Amino acid sequence: MTEEREFDSASFYRFLAEKKLMASRCKKCQELYLPPHPICSKCHGNDMEWVEMKGKGRLAAFTAVAVGPSFTIEEGYDRDNPYLVGVVELEEGPKVSGRIRGLDARKPEGIKVGTPLTVEFMEQEEGRRCFVAFKAR
């Protein structure tokens, strides 16, 4: 049962591997948290529940990374082959960080804040967890 999972990063990433983008919600004040928080920052209650996000949203901020961390270099990205990462505002309200796909990372000038996106789940690679990604819809 999803409701019994701890409100921690292990649960969040296990849900992602199951292709579910899950937020935590405070039962007392209904505030949504993504990534899931175990304690509500608004009313300070600690009775939370899991809520699945529909995965639709809009690009709120982004960048095309030319100089990435070591693991992205291993993925094959570099100055000539940058990748996009951004913050996406979901229809339900919360914003989430994720890799952005389906837009041209070599022409970031042409990418618009506000572009509609749908969640997609980066495949689990050996030794690495699945993480949040979005594609243009």
**Can you give the binding site for other proteins, defined by CB under 8 A?**
9, 33-35, 60-73, 79, 82-83, 85-87, 94-99, 108-109, 112-114, 129, 131-133
Q: Tokens 């042409």 — which residue? A: 110
Report the distance separating Cα 10 and Cα 6, nearest Å.
8
Torsion of CA 115, 75, 124, 2, to 10 degrees: -50
For other proteins, the closer CB: 8 or 28: 8
Report the distance separating Cα 136 and Cα 105, nearest Å.
12
For other proteins, the closer CB: 1 or 41: 41
Q: Which strands make up the sheet holding 48-52, listed edge to edge?
A: 32-33, 22-26, 48-52
Q: What's the closest the beta carbon of residue 50 comes to other proteins, in angstroms?
A: 17
DSSP-derived secondary structure letter, 126: T
For other proteins, the closer CB: 1 or 70: 70
For other proteins, the closer CB: 68 or 102: 68
Q: What's the closest the beta carbon of residue 53 comes to other proteins, in angstroms?
A: 13
Q: What's the closest the beta carbon of residue 41 comes to other proteins, in angstroms?
A: 8
Report the distance separating Cα 47 and Cα 21, nearest Å.
20
Q: What's the closest the beta carbon of residue 61 comes to other proteins, in angstroms?
A: 4
